[in-house]
């Protein structure tokens, strides 16, 4: 048996696959104690942990620790003269018209930073050696009070040569063995002092929290006789054995959204689709990601609560348009949706747990696109009267009926999602019309068709068990690690040889890391460079396949860079002397021994009926169907139709036709 457990903001999802049989469970999350929700999902799924060979877990623990400022007390050791890097930050303003704008606060105070007498050059040469005797005395005084649980070490130019960071780490470990120590060289070996210091500090801030959470979870699993492999999902779209999290927990920040993307890639790939836009709409937010030729876009940096984190992550854009997103009016009287969410506690008003503000799930109840008797497969009671109650005030303020207000809120949420998709497509030089939309999460299939219409996307693929696809993505993901390094190399005739040598070094480092984690499978490698015109402040990512790398010439590098630059900025021709390589990134992946299929079968119960929905300002007759009913019609089912699928509901508007393919995916085609 293989089990994936994904803790979301509102629900915790489980997918268990054994001998081709798929078992799913969905239980409310417990935000204060996410491991309780995870264990509850195992109970709901009736999982015998003694029979589980492979357990993969994704959670929001690291993200919540930063957002809620509940990480471990952390100290920072940095080079003399660089104590204020975290407070100076950058000169950009994320809200340029806000007269009261303040830069985001770091997770530590200035008093928590100790300057160390040492210096490395940007080329990795020792400028000022580290005096261990004098530094040891400073460490004893600074860390001896017992107020810290974690230490971040980020020295100037430590990305080029980490010798002094290693010395400091050894000294701290010797004097204070109970402290967790995090070196920048183990987190990100890329330049830009503020981003590197922020990343290292945040990694040290969440590491004790993640370690404690995983120890507690492992103990509970052990008490139920679990002896299989336990892996954790990362933000980069791959997983690692739990031992890997003890080195760099910051990689687990966005594990849930990343798992959903990988589940969509796997399931859509079985039907021959590789160019995708994924739409994961859950209870708290909506996450979208562009996938080209089966490979999700990767970004070298992200941020949480305004604080930059320099680590490879899937290029996912998140907007506040989940089922629990609050519907409200701004100061100008305009209807808004999100980013505030009712979350799991209390949740939307219709959950009957004390929610008293209108949310998107309440809106769907009022429109008839969610039916109380079949919500969550009929396993959860919901209250339509409560939904009407919380929308009453909003509808009166907008001078609309309750149904019109609910319908308008859903359309605003659709507009938010369209904007997010444009960020990952048109603003990245990609035309969304060339892609297949893959919606999942509990609410994704409800919104997908209207979103696709706005973007002129004519094909939608909805996987089976779409509401728990993220949990399946945990099982479908590879073991994956990235090795990065900053090394500025002008694009001259000798650049190709240097590129090959540096990638060979990174490949050897990744191979050794996997061996230490007990993964002995043949590794697959991906290669990318961050490149720019000389004088530019920021870079673009240029991917290189293995065959091109083995026969690389400087002209090839220039051609690849020009192509990527043209795609993003619509210009890019340059002479070789004007371009340079800035950073190297190598991905090392090992597929799991078994990748279970989600193809459960759609069952044989053909259900067809009639209902009414409120859509685009009026009540409409709508066919009510099961998946099996669609499969029974070779020509497909025309909209308007609602397909109730246990973990989600699929809305097929007028003008769309639904069919089921041989992988049990529902395919919607728009008759444009």
Distance in angstroms (rounded) separating the CA atoms of residues 202 and 235: 15
From 566, 590, 614, give the residue that closes a domain. 590
- The count of domains in the chain is 4
**Whole domain around residue 161: which residue ranges?**
69-210
Counting Cβ atoms within 10 Å, is residue 631 exposed (0-12), middle (13-18) or buried (19+)? buried
Q: Do 94 and 82 belong to one domain?
A: yes
Q: Please give the mean pLDDT across all residues of the chain.
A: 90
Distance in angstroms (rounded) separating the CA atoms of residues 572 and 577: 13
Distance in angstroms (rounded) separating the CA atoms of residues 512 and 533: 34
Q: Do 306 and 451 belong to one domain?
A: yes
Q: Do 196 and 55 belong to one domain?
A: no
User: Residue 596: inside a domain, yes or no?
Assistant: no
User: Residue 461: inside a domain, yes or no?
Assistant: yes
Count, residues in the chain: 672
| 552 pLDDT more than 90 | no
Q: Do 338 and 406 belong to one domain?
A: yes
Establish whether the linkage from the previous residue to 665 is cis, with ω within 30° of 0: no
Q: Do 61 and 82 belong to one domain?
A: no
Q: Do 201 and 218 belong to one domain?
A: no
Residue 575's pLDDT is 54
The pLDDT-based confidence of 51 (bands split at 50, 70, 90) is: very high
Joined together, the tokens standing for residue 326 give: 């609050």
Q: Range with the lowest mean pLDDT among 97-106, 398-407, 564-573?
A: 564-573
- Quote the percentage of the chain above a pLDDT of 90: 63
User: Residue 595: inside a domain, yes or no?
Assistant: no
pTM of the model: 0.88
The mean per-residue pLDDT over the stretch 502-522 comes to: 91
Q: Do 426 and 439 belong to one domain?
A: yes
Residue 491's pLDDT is 86
Residue 603's pLDDT is 56
Q: Do 306 and 404 belong to one domain?
A: yes
From 227, 252, 277, give the residue that closes a domain. 252
Q: Do 78 and 62 belong to one domain?
A: no
The pLDDT-based confidence of 601 (bands split at 50, 70, 90) is: very low
> What's 242's domain CATH number?
3.30.420.40
User: Residue 571: inside a domain, yes or no?
Assistant: yes
- Contact present, 469 and 267 (Cβ < 8 Å): yes
Residue 505's pLDDT is 95
User: Residue 474: inside a domain, yes or no?
Assistant: no
From 210, 240, 272, give the residue that closes a domain. 210
User: Residue 310: inside a domain, yes or no?
Assistant: yes
How many whole angstroms from its chain centre is CA 104? 22
Q: Do 529 and 448 belong to one domain?
A: no
Joined together, the tokens standing for residue 366 give: 């009022």
Q: Do 170 and 269 belong to one domain?
A: no
Q: Of 301, 314, 304, 292, which is closest to residue 540 (Cα–Cα)?
A: 301
| 355 pLDDT more than 90 | no
> What's 485's domain CATH number?
3.30.1490
Q: Do 137 and 164 belong to one domain?
A: yes
């Amino acid at each position: 048996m293989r089990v994936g457990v994904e803790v979301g903001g509102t629900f915790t999802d489980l997918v268990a696959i054994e001998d081709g049989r798929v078992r799913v469970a969905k239980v409310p999350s417990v935000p204060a104690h996410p491991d309780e929700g995870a264990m509850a999902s195992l109970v709901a799924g009736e999982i015998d942990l003694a029979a589980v060979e492979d357990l993969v877990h994704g959670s929001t623990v690291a993200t919540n620790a930063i957002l809620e400022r509940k990480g471990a007390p952390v100290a920072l050791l940095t080079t003399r003269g660089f104590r204020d890097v975290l407070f100076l930050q950058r000169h950009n303003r994320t809200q340029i018209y806000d007269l009261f704008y303040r830069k985001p606060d770091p997770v530590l105070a200035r008093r928590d930073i100790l300057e160390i007498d040492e210096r490395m050059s940007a080329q990795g040469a020792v400028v000022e050696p580290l005096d261990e005797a004098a530094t040891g005395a400073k460490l004893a005084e600074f860390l001896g009070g017992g107020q810290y649980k974690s230490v971040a070490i980020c020295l100037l130019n430590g990305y080029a040569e980490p010798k002094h960071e290693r010395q400091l780490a050894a000294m701290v470990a010797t004097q204070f063995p109970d402290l967790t120590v995090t070196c920048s060289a183990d987190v990100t070996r890329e330049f830009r002092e503020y981003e590197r210091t922020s990343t290292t500090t945040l990694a040290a801030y969440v590491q004790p929290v993640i370690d404690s959470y995983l120890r507690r979870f492992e103990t509970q699993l052990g008490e139920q006789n679990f002896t299989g492999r336990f892996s954790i999902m990362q933000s980069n779209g791959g997983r690692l054995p739990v031992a890997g999290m003890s080195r760099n927990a910051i990689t687990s920040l966005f594990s849930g959204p990343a798992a959903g993307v990988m589940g969509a890639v796997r399931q859509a790939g079985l039907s021959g689709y590789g160019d995708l836009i994924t739409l994961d709409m859950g209870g708290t937010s909506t996450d979208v990601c562009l996938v080209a030729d089966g490979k999700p876009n990767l970004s070298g940096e992200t941020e949480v609560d305004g604080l930059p984190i320099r680590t490879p992550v899937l290029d996912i854009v998140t907007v506040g348009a989940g089922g629990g997103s609050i519907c409200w009016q701004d100061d100008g009287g305009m209807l808004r949706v999100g980013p505030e969410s009712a979350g799991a506690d209390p949740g939307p008003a219709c959950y009957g747990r004390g929610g008293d503000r209108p949310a998107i799930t309440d809106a769907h109840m009022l429109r008839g696109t969610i039916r109380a008797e079949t919500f969550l497969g009929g396993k959860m009671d919901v209250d339509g009267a409560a939904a009407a109650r919380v929308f009453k005030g909003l509808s009166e303020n907008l001078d609309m009926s309750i149904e019109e207000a609910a319908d308008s809120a859903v359309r605003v949420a659709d507009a938010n999602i369209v904007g997010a998709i444009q960020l990952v497509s048109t603003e990245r030089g990609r035309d969304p019309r060339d892609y297949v939309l893959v919606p999942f999460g509990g609410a994704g299939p409800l919104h997908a068709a209207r979103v696709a219409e706005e973007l002129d996307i004519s094909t939608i693929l909805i996987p089976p068990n779409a509401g728990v696809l993220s949990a399946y993505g945990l099982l479908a993901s590879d073991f994956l690690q990235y090795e990065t390094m900053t090394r500025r190399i002008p694009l001259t005739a000798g650049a190709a040889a240097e590129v090959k040598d540096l990638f060979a070094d990174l490949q050897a480092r990744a191979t050794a890391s996997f061996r230490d984690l007990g993964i002995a499978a043949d590794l697959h490698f991906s290669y990318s460079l961050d490149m720019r015109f000389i004088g530019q402040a920021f870079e673009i990512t240029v991917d290189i396949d293995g065959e091109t790398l083995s026969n690389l010439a400087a002209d090839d590098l220039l051609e690849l860079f020009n192509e990527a630059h043209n795609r993003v900025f619509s210009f890019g021709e340059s002479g070789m002397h004007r371009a340079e390589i800035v950073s190297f990134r190598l991905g090392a992946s090992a597929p799991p021994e078994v990748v279970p299929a989600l193809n459960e079968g759609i069952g044989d119960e053909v259900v067809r009926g009639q209902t009414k929905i409120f859509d685009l300002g009026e009540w409409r007759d709508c066919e009510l169907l099961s998946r099996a009913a669609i499969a029974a019609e070779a020509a497909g089912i025309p909209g308007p139709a609602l397909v109730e699928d246990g973990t989600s509901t699929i809305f097929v508007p007028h003008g769309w036709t639904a069919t089921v393919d041989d992988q049990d995916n529902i395919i919607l085609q728009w008759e444009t």
